[in-house]
C-alpha cells in the first residue's frame, strides 16, 4: 500500500529529514582518527533528543543503537561499538533516523576519516552522483525503475558492484513503506511515481563485486570480497515538476569542510 502525502505531511517529513541532516552534520564534526563509533552514536542520540525527536532506529526490530555506522567493507547496518576505533583512511557510512510529530526522517552519508586513498574517494563521489542521478528521475509520471536504472547505470559505468539484497523504500509515518526502491532495474518498469509519494533513494555501492554477507551479529552487512562500500541516502518527495529533496547534504558538507 502506497500512501500519498499531503503538503502538510510532506512538511513534517521535511522537518524530520532536516533534523537528520543536522544530526549527520554534528556527527561529521566529530569524525576523526581515534573516535569510536559508540561515541558518535551517543552524540547523535543526545542531539536528536535535544531537538525534541526520538532516534527512529533505536529498538527498531531490536536494533540496539541510534545510528547504523558501517566502516570500510561494511555496507550498512553496522552496530556502533566502543571497540570500533576509526583510523586515518577509513570511510564510515552513517545512517540516521528520527521520529517526531508522527513522521520519520531517514538519510545516510559516507564520511572520510582524514585522507583516504584516491580510489576510495572516487567510490564515494560516484555513489553520491548515482544518488543524484536517481533522484533526478523522481518525478510524477516516471516509474521506480527509472530511478533504479539511473543509479545502476552510473555505478556500473565505473565497474562498481550494485548491492541487490537491500533497497530504498517509501517513507512516512513508518520508516519502511511501499514501494521498494531498488538500486538496479529497468527504465519504464515498476510502480508509477505519483505526486505526494515520499521515497528514500539509497545507493549501496561496492568498489568490487556486488555480493554481500550478513554477519552473525544479525545486523551488519559487509562486502563478500571485503573491498569498501559507500552509502548515501536522500528522502525525496515526488512532485509533478520534479523531485523535492527533503534531506540537506549542504549542511553536512559545510560542517565537514570547516
Ligand atoms: Mg537510512
Ligand atoms: Mg532508508
Q: How far, in Å, is the centroid of ligand 2 from the Cα of 95? A: 8
Element (H, E) at 233: none
Average pLDDT over residues 162-183: 98
Residue ranges in 31-117 assigned as alpha helix (H): 37-50
Q: How far, in Å, is the centroid of ligand 1 from the Cα of 54? A: 15
Q: How far, in Å, is the centroid of ligand 1 from the Cα of 11? A: 19
Q: How far, in Å, is the centroid of ligand 1 from the Cα of 57? A: 9
Nearest ligand to residue 68 Cα: 1
Entry pTM: 0.98
Q: How far, in Å, is the centroid of ligand 2 from the Cα of 237? A: 14
pLDDT by residue (tens digit) across 228-237? 999 999 999 9
Rounded Cα–Cα distance for residues 115 and 137 (Å): 33
Rounded Cα–Cα distance for residues 44 and 65 (Å): 10
Conformation bin of residue 236: beta by default, left when phi > 0, alpha when psi is -120 to 50: beta
Which residues fall within 8 angstroms of residue 113, CB to CB, at 6 or more apart?
31, 32, 33, 86, 87, 88, 89, 90, 91, 92
For residue 66, the 8-state DSSP code is S
Question: Is the pLDDT reported for residue 184 higher than 90?
Answer: yes
Average pLDDT over residues 78-82: 98
pLDDT by residue (tens digit) across 118-157? 999 999 999 999 999 999 999 999 999 999 999 999 999 9
Q: How far, in Å, is the centroid of ligand 2 from the Cα of 187? A: 22
Amino acid at each position: 500500500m502506497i500512501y500519498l502525502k499531503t503538503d502538510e505531511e510532506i512538511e513534517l517529513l521535511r522537518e524530520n529529514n532536516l533534523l537528520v541532516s543536522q544530526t549527520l552534520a554534528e556527527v561529521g564534526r566529530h569524525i576523526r582518527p581515534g573516535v569510536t563509533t559508540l561515541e558518535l552514536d551517543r552524540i547523535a542520540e543526545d542531539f536528536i533528543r535535544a531537538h525534541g525527536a526520538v532516534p527512529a532506529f533505536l529498538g527498531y526490530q531490536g536494533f540496539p543503537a541510534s545510528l547504523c555506522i558501517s566502516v570500510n567493507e561494511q555496507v550498512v547496518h553496522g552496530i556502533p561499538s566502543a571497540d570500533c576505533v576509526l583510523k586515518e583512511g577509513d570511510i564510515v557510512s552513517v545512517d540516521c533516523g528520527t521520529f517526531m510529530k508522527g513522521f520519520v526522517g531517514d538519510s545516510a552519508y559516507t564520511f572520510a576519516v582524514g585522507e583516504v586513498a584516491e580510489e576510495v574517494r572516487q567510490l564515494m563521489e560516484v555513489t553520491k552522483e548515482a544518488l543524484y542521478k536517481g533522484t533526478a528521475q523522481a518525478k510524477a509520471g516516471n516509474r521506480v525503475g527509472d530511478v533504479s536504472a539511473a543509479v545502476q547505470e552510473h555505478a556500473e559505468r565505473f565497474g562498481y558492484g550494485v548491492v541487490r539484497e537491500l533497497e530504498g523504500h517509501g517513507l512516512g509515518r513508518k520508516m519502511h513503506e511501499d514501494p521498494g526502491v531498488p538500486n538496479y532495474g529497468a527504465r519504464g518498469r515498476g510502480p508509477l511515481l505519483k505526486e505526494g509519494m515520499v521515497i528514500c533513494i539509497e545507493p549501496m555501492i561496492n568498489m568490487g563485486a556486488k555480493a554481500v554477507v550478513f554477519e552473525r551479529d544479525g545486523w551488519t552487512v559487509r562486502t563478500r570480497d571485503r573491498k569498501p562500500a559507500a552509502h548515501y541516502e536522500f528522502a525525496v518527495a515526488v512532485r509533478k515538476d520534479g523531485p523535492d529533496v527533503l534531506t540537506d547534504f549542504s549542511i553536512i558538507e559545510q560542517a565537514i569542510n570547516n
